[in-house]
């Protein structure tokens, strides 16, 4: 079976504003593949993640994400690319005064869903996958940090994305919650056949849950 390339970067340069962050980068990722992205603070992990979803400048070479040419991105086609992605940040970006259900319903409406029965079933499905079914009607501000991050993951998989980009998703969590999150994301990568880039500075996770690992250092990217 031929594997579908979800990320295809060859000889690209990535910038933060006018500053060159990563140079002559080669990086491929196929469907259902999980990859750690590691490196010190300021090494370029977040810049690479941002470049993948069209929020950091990328030049030279070849750059395709979810079969979209990054060099062709504009205001019109950027939303269609991002609908193929689930993006998970260290900061949750949730509506804290809303319930779990309201947060997920908002995303479905914003991405074109209009059948209330299908929306209800999809919300139940993703909450079951992240073990939050019992929290459906709870306000976000009443959830623990780990539960909030699980809700962020549920939000990210609502539209069954081709690519999950997780930028330091365990940075604000304790060890137990971090373990829970990495196990969950790896499980969902398998269930949904989603390619996953997991940026982290937590070497403990790599040792406990080994997977393909790529290092950002010295303005470059290399496989470990």
- In this structure, is residue 149 part of a structural domain? yes
In a domain, 66, yes or no: no
pTM of this structure? 0.90
The Cα angle at residue 59 between residues 55 and 62, in degrees rounded to 5: 105
**Total domains, the chain:** 1
Token code pair at residue 27: 């990086």
pLDDT tens per residue across span 31-65: 999 999 999 888 999 999 999 999 999 999 999 99
The pLDDT value recorded for residue 90 is 76
Report the CATH number that the domain containing residue 179 is assigned in CATH. Answer: 3.40.50.300
Establish if 178 belongs to a structural domain.
yes
- CB atoms under 10 Å from CB of 163, counted, come to 21
* Domain-located, residue 21: no
The Cα–Cα gap between 18 and 31 comes to: 32
Render pLDDT for 161-193 as a digit per residue (tens, 0 to 9): 999 999 998 888 889 989 999 999 999 888 889
16: in domain: no
* Token pair 């290092």: residue: 215
Domain limits for position 127: 33-55+76-223
């Amino acid at each position: 079976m031929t594997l579908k390339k979800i990320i295809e970067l060859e000889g690209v340069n990535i910038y933060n504003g006018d500053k060159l962050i990563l140079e002559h980068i080669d990086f491929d990722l196929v469907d259902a593949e999980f990859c750690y992205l590691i490196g010190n603070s300021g090494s370029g992990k977040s810049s690479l993640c941002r470049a993948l979803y069209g929020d950091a400048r990328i030049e030279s070479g070849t750059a395709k994400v979810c079969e979209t040419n990054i060099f062709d991105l504009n205001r019109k086609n950027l939303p269609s690319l991002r609908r193929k992605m689930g993006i998970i940040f260290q900061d949750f970006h949730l509506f804290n005064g809303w319930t779990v259900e309201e947060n997920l319903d908002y995303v479905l409406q914003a991405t074109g869903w209009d059948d209330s029965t299908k929306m209800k079933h999809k919300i139940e499905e993703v909450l079951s996958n992240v073990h939050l079914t019992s929290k459906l009607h709870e306000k976000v501000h009443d959830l623990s940090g780990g539960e909030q991050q699980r809700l962020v993951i549920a939000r990210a998989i609502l539209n069954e994305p081709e690519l999950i980009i997780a930028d330091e998703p365990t940075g604000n969590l304790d060890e137990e919650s971090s373990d829970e999150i990495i196990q969950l994301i790896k499980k969902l990568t398998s269930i949904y056949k989603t390619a996953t880039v997991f940026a982290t500075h937590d070497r403990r996770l790599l040792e406990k849950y080994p997977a393909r690992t790529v290092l950002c250092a010295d303005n470059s990217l290399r496989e470990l």
